[in-house]
A and B are shown apart, each in its own frame.
Chain A
């Protein structure tokens, strides 16, 4: 029975001129955005890989110099692009692409791509994700608003129910028919998207990306199911199909265009962040806290003299200059961890507010999940920041350790390629999918809650309300 209703809905839709026009439009936009996303990804991935190789090369081919000079010379870490950024670029345009890893300082990521675009970029990117989050729901609204309301206006609904069709089955059948029609539009783009993924990713990335891609598809299907259920529920209750359309369009507008902005603003009121100058001033004050370094150095001196059982620093078998440099790093690391940690935690809290607010507007939830799975959300950016900083600290420890092991006066000792090679190449490993899903737990919960409520709303009080 459900199958037959679904088939009727599908056939009716395929014969509808609106459906043909809309589906061609959605298909065209999603293919265009995928193609552009793919090209952009390929360009940037190539540029970043080349730069990463070059920075390693420069590090290895340094002239002979004091290890601390090498630490100052440093290396760059360039953020690799996630293959699924083809689908959803997420916050990528709004975070820096590179960070300089040098002695004494945790630098910030520089060069946000959005600053190299015109102001029109702020209207939003035409990515596949944007199409799926904004245009497809609109498409669903336009195809479903009259599903029940229209039949009631034509008088066919009364006939149908008089045949003894259980309203729940009717709703399910209609939902299935609309879903099938939607599939006809989206499957081609999904297939092409997967093909593009296969083309771009090398063997190693493929497994991870495919799993994430599959999850991405599943969550988008979930989102569309929610949208269909909401639309059918409204259509079954609205007095006229026109009213159903108005209500659904208002929902679409609030959900896809207004809610994001309002919630992001509210989140930053709840969890405010400092301005850059405030942040820097506070951090500098702590870095240069009077007496702090002296205290730490005295303590280290005492410890080392006890350890080596000598009574003067000069008698130590290691170079104290290296110890002193490393102690400076340790002090800095504590301060950086505290200050950057607090800042990034605030961003995370803001983003959690955003995820929870998905209860009011499901678009917020799917947006977070989509970025998360695409590897382009803030948390994965932070993951990379942490990895790059760990690598910086590794360089510092290696360089300072080498200085310690060569007790001459600091400036006269020169190291060469052997030491540079002791620092392994920076290899970033993207976090596991389970970690991402854990971060997205709020959004995932919200989506399932919406599905349950919307499905109940679609099928429950149908019989009485429908006539």
Chain B
């Protein structure tokens, strides 16, 4: 029976020209979205390659220079000498901390165009280092990208609603519903058949065209971790689709005319996809405003002025905290400019920390609030899940930043003792390197599954209510 229903529905849908037009537009959107994502991932990879090349070239040149300097006794200005640990740590030797592009990055550009994926880590203050940004036309950042995630978050539900809003009401209006139900078939089964076929069709288009476009663009879906992420992506696509189909079933169960259904569903789409996300942003940024960074700049500057003024006292205190560094006698190093610099930087960082923390705490509060609110907007849930799968979301970037912080400490830990020992760098290659450790796939999966549950649970509830209501569906107008 069910198979026959599907067959019949397919015949009806196939004869409808608009279905074909809509399907073609959808496929084109998917193709263009994937292409755009692939281009961006390519740009990012090239940028990372360029950074790595710049670093290795710089190191090669530096090692040559060091070798040359060690052979001749020719004096060289301290600031032009890469063996001088201060200059090495801040100017000659900085290494890049890079966030690699994930295997399925083309699926969603996410935050990757806004949050930089490489930092040049030196002995400079942490805030200076992470304030770097990638070059992009701000106007483009404002309008966003046409990537696959955009097609899925905005267009996909719209198409689901376009093919489902009148699935029962149209038959009722044409009078064919009563005719169909005079056969031995329940209304629930009929509706299930209609939904099943449409779901198969749309999810089929999304999945097949996306995967096809990825393959055509040369994205390897068998790279390590890629298949697991692809499975997560499928889960998200299915869950998001389920939610919108459930919404359509629920609205259809009220037995209103097609035009009313269309209005209700379009309004719901507008509210859930377009308005609520901006409203959440508005609420979060108004309740927990992050003050303009100018306050931080000023705080750091005041701290730095005070610390510079107190330079030598600070150095004495620094030696008290780090007696192991006072090898050559504190007296002798006291006047050493570089040592004072270290102590000053250290003090500035300490004083600036509470100010910087305020920004981060406030942002964390915003995030917490959004993390709760997002369960009211399927669009936000879906976007987060897609970003997670692609590795372009905020959590992965935060994970990266934590490692950058650690590497920064490691870098200073390498350079600072050398400054105090008045040692020279003989082998630049011995300087620490950054190695990114990616999040465990399980952690990503956990977030995506929570998001998918946030979509599926309401979908199941709405379907349940809808199916119950269908029993009392007015078959004739």
Contacts and interface: CB of A to CB of B under 8 A. Distances in A.
A145 B290 CA distance: 43
A130 B278 contact: yes
B305 to A, nearest CB: 7
Interface residues of A, number: 77
A257 B115 contact: no
A328 to B, nearest CB: 14
Given A51-B294, A275-B50, A116 B359 contact: yes
A116 B293 contact: yes
A126 B278 contact: yes
B213 to A, nearest CB: 15
Contacts of B131: 110-111
Contacts of A93: 142
Given A36-B282, A273-B136, A118 B294 contact: no
Interface stretch (B191-199, B340-348, B362-370, B403-411): B362-370
The residue among A29, A91, A97, A265 with the most chain B CB atoms within 10 A of its own CB is A265
- Interface magnitude class on chain B: 35 or more
B137 A273 contact: yes
B281 A121 contact: yes
Contacts of B290: 113, 116-117
A118 B143 contact: no
B244 interface: no
B158 interface: yes
Contacts of B278: 123-126, 130
B139 interface: yes
A288 to B, nearest CB: 11
Given A78-B294, A115-B114, A277-B51, A122 B138 contact: no
Interface in B104-124: 110-111, 114-116, 118
Nearest to A93: B142
A279 B298 contact: no
Contacts of A205: none
B461 interface: no
A140 interface: no
Interface string B122-158: 0000000001111111111111111000100010001
A121 B144 CA distance: 11
A411 B317 CA distance: 28
A276 B154 CA distance: 31
Interface in A351-375: 351, 354
A377 B154 contact: no
A277 B141 contact: no
A276 B134 contact: yes
B43 A275 contact: yes
Interface in A166-202: none
A208 to B, nearest CB: 23
B379 A123 contact: yes
B383 interface: yes
A409 interface: no
The residue among A119, A350, A378 with the most chain B CB atoms within 10 A of its own CB is A119
A268 B137 contact: yes
Interface in A7-54: 29, 32-33, 36, 39-40, 43-44, 47-48, 51, 54
Contacts of B282: 32-33, 36, 125-126
A94 B138 CA distance: 5
A278 interface: yes
Nearest to B360: A116
A347 B32 CA distance: 23
A350 B137 contact: yes
B46 interface: yes
Contact of A261 (B114, B143, B158, B298): B143
Contact of B301 (A32, A58, A249, A253): A58
The residue among A114, A123, A249, A258 with the most chain B CB atoms within 10 A of its own CB is A123
Given A76-B297, A120-B284, A275-B46, A114 B137 contact: no
A262 interface: yes
B26 to A, nearest CB: 12
Contact of B274 (A63, A110, A134): A134
B137 A351 contact: yes
Contact of B135 (A78, A124, A258, A275): A275
18 contacts: A40-B289, A43-B291, A44-B292, A91-B138, A91-B139, A94-B138, A112-B138, A116-B293, A118-B363, A119-B110, A120-B280, A122-B114, A123-B379, A260-B143, A261-B145, A262-B32, A264-B137, A377-B139
Interface of B: 32, 36, 39, 43, 46-47, 50-51, 54, 110-111, 114-116, 118, 131-146, 150, 154, 158, 259, 262, 266, 270, 274-275, 277-282, 284-286, 289-298, 301-302, 305, 309, 359, 363, 366-367, 370, 374, 379-380, 383-384, 387, 393-394
